[in-house]
Amino acid sequence: MDVKLDIRWGLGHETPELVDPLVFELLEAVERGCSLRSAATRCGASYRHAWGMMRDWEDRLGIPLLELERGRGASLSSVGRCLLWAQRRTEARLVPMLDSLSAEVEHELGELLARSTPLKMVASHDLAIDLLRDRFNAREKRLLNIQYRGSLDAVRQLVAGHCDVAGYHVPERVSSSDQIENGFNRLMPAEEYQSVYFVSRRQGLMLRKDLARKISGVQDLTGSGLRFLNRQRGSGTRLLFDQLLVDSGVNPGDILGYEVEEFTHLAVAAMLASGAADVGFGVQAAAERFGLAFVPMVDEHYLLAFRKGSHSAQWCHDLLKILEDDQNLRDSITQLAGYDCGRMGEVWDR
């Protein structure tokens, strides 16, 4: 049983009308420099249909979404830009939550229908994990369901027996990285649990390109007047950022906005790109997706943990097989900025 939950927009002054997703696709294409005609072609729609749809929504809202100039093509109006960024922020913030909820529903329905129970993973949010899920579900008869939580919570869910696999990450080279790694090792004794490499990824400061020259490290966040956007407590990224502050001798209370939190890398990047904040901390791929500058700070390993007794289970064999030899998965991951899968499937040596 495959469950997909999605976001639908409704707009209107009195009775909201559902917005066709094509509206957002056209706005995004125009933002990238397309004329309305070429935007329609890129989105697989006729120019007449695209023109009529945009005019219809402009009439409903009573304000233009596009600015059309003869000989100069199209550009987004202030309302068009606001609507597009609202849609991006909404997706970045809610899609991981919807994916987690759909995984729960799939699990419950699978049990009610007396079919094979889906493989359940609780994992720290990561762009490559979505690709792993898609490849596993395309290849195997059993579904892989993922719920996104912080790294600490993911490992605790595994230890408590609430999932089959936990996804968490540890830094490669931070002066006090042992403290982070040892925290996970205490929760998962080596004689009972095993971790394997999934990917290596690069984390750092994300910020608007016009601010790139002002920031070279976490020490520049203090007294800068720039608004920082943090990740939630318990997330591996928050643990890593806090450790970087300790290593640099930076007091969190001196960072404007330190207490303001978001729950995914993409949500932080989307908020920065919209101007709601100035600086955040996250993976390079999220910064690139939203056109942000990136200051690399730490490379880290993203690991998948499970009980050693699971080696005899078919799902464990299937998962490790994909990690070891699925070239499509590797090709997809290497297209993400700052990601490397050269050690994917190897046992993590503690």
Average confidence (pLDDT) over 158-176? 87
- pLDDT tens readout for residues 214-243: 999 999 999 889 999 999 998 999 999 999
pTM assigned to the model? 0.75
pLDDT band at 173 (very low <50, low <70, confident <90, very high): low
Mean residue pLDDT across the chain = 89
Those residues with Cβ within 8 angstroms of residue 114's Cβ, 6 or more apart along the chain or in another chain: none
pLDDT of residue 109: 72
**pLDDT at 25 exceeding the cut of 80:** yes
Instruction: Report angle CA 108, 110, 115 to the nearest 5 degrees.
Output: 150
How would you write the chain as a 3-class SS string?
CCCCCCCCCEECCCCCEECCHHHHHHHHHHHCCCCHHHHHHHCCCCHHHHHHHHHHHHHHHCCCCEEEECCCEEEECHHHHHHHHHHHHHHHHHHHHHHHHHHHHHHHHHHHCCCCCCEEEEECCCHHHHHHHHHHHHHCCCCEEEEECCHHHHHHHHHCCCCCEEEEEEECCCCCHHHHHHHHHHHCCCCCEEEEEEEEEEEEEEECHHHHHHCCCHHHHCCCCCCEEEECCCCHHHHHHHHHHHHHCCCHHHCCCCCCEECCHHHHHHHHHHCCCCEEEEEHHHHHHCCCEEEEEEEEEEEEEEEHHHHHCHHHHHHHHHHHHCHHHHHHHHCCCCEECCCCCCECCC
- pLDDT tens readout for residues 269-285: 999 998 889 999 999 99
Average confidence (pLDDT) over 141-165? 92
pLDDT of residue 114: 47
Give me the residues paired with residue 296 across strands: 204
What tokens were used for 175?
């002066």
Contact 61, 17 (CB under 8 A): no
pLDDT of residue 61: 84
C-alpha 235/C-alpha 171 separation (Å) is 13
Residue boundaries of the structural domains of the chain = 10-76, 86-340
Task: State the residue for tokens 């093509």.
Answer: 73
Same fold? 10-76, 86-340:
no
Dmax (CA) of the chain: 71
C-alpha 98/C-alpha 102 separation (Å) is 6
* Percent over 90 (pLDDT), the chain: 59
Q: Which CATH class is domain 86-340?
A: alpha beta
What tokens were used for 160?
């408590």
C-alpha 191/C-alpha 315 separation (Å) is 21
pLDDT band at 91 (very low <50, low <70, confident <90, very high): confident
CATH topology of domain 10-76: Arc Repressor Mutant, subunit A (1.10.10)
